């Protein structure tokens, strides 16, 4: 399917690795030019080296800093002449739990929620001009809880709320806003977490047994496919939606899981 992204320009936060990098690669494959805003210089440079010449820009910076968000948007528009798509992906599950002091909670919100607000704030006029699209990356933690990550859960709950708020605010300007939420996604970061555990193989098997569709983790490429579809003109009448790409993990009855079937 031709998604109609030839000549479009996207800015992807946290686009150097994981789900963000998968989004960048697919946007490029569909004909868009892309700017990445990320902390990881080496990963960003590697993507630029492998991309079509002149179609990928890397901006290195900490997006919890407002001025870096302003500059990332400005550099994108200066380099490519427009901005059609914003993918708010930057963030990390930092395990700031309820036993942490309030300043740690605030720092988690600054890492995981403020970049999305700041980038959207600075990109809004360009997106209005283009009648563009925003896709926010959330997390199933925003609706399930996890018990050990108050800051991240609050930030991703905020992403859900802002998706609906921005969809309402920007609908008169023809800008669509949607969110895509993973559950268990097989990113490099997830693999590093598994490797830090006493029995990574057993833990992964147990987690995958809880995913109804295929008893496996979601891939970054599957996440990217939904993100890029929602960013494209093909989804031209879809806005304000919170979409789970998780193999049924979050919402389907536990009776569908392998673990339940084993016990029954």
pLDDT the model gives residue 264: 44
| pLDDT tens readout for residues 86-97 | 999 999 999 999
| pLDDT tens readout for residues 173-228 | 999 999 999 999 988 888 887 888 888 898 898 999 999 999 999 999 999 999 99
Question: Which phi and psi (to 5°) does residue 35 adopt?
Answer: -110, 135
Rounded Cα–Cα distance for residues 247 and 26 (Å): 21
pLDDT tops 70 at residue 261: no
* 3-state SS assignment for residue 207: helix
Ranges of each domain in the chain: 9-263
pLDDT tops 60 at residue 239: yes
Which tokens go with 54?
A: 């002149």
Entry pTM: 0.95
Which whole number is the average pLDDT over 14-32? Answer: 97
Write the DSSP string, 138-193. --THHHH--SS-HHHHHHHHHHHHHHHHHHHHHGGGT-EEEEEEESSB--HHHHHH
Which tokens go with 82?
A: 């427009």
Averaged pLDDT score across all residues of the chain:
95
Which whole number is the average pLDDT over 50-64? Answer: 97
**Cβ distance 234 to 1 under 8 Å?**
yes
Instruction: Residues 9-263: name the CATH superfamily.
Output: NAD(P)-binding Rossmann-like Domain (3.40.50.720)
Q: How confident is the model at residue 260 (pLDDT cuts 50, 70, 90)?
A: low
| pLDDT tens readout for residues 148-173 | 999 999 999 999 999 999 999 999 99
Return the active site residues.
152
């Amino acid at each position: 399917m031709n998604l109609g992204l030839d000549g479009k320009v996207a800015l992807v936060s946290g686009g150097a690795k994981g789900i963000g990098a998968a989004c960048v690669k697919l946007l490029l494959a569909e004909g868009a030019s892309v700017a990445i805003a990320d902390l990881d210089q080496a990963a960003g440079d590697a993507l630029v080296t492998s991309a079509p010449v002149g179609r990928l820009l890397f901006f290195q910076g900490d997006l919890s800093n407002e001025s870096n968000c302003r500059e990332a948007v400005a550099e994108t528009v200066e380099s490519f002449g427009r901005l059609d798509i914003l993918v708010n992906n930057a963030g990390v599950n930092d395990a700031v739990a309820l036993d942490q002091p309030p300043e740690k909670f605030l720092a988690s919100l600054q890492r995981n929620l403020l970049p999305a607000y700041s980038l959207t704030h600075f990109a809004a006029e360009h997106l209005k001009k283009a009648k563009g699209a925003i896709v926010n990356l959330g997390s199933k933690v925003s609706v399930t809880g996890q018990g050990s990550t108050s800051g991240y859960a609050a930030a991703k709950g905020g992403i859900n709320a802002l998706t609906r708020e921005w969809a309402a605010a920007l609908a008169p300007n023809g800008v669509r806003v949607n969110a895509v939420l993973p559950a268990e996604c097989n990113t490099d970061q997830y693999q590093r977490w598994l490797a830090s555990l006493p029995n990574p193989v057993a833990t992964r098997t147990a987690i995958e047994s809880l995913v109804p569709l295929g008893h496996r983790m979601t891939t970054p490429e599957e996440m990217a496919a939904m993100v890029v579809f929602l960013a494209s003109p093909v989804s031209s009448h879809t806005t304000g939606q919170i979409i789970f790409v998780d193999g049924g993990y979050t919402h389907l009855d536990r009776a569908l899981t392998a673990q339940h079937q084993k016990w029954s």
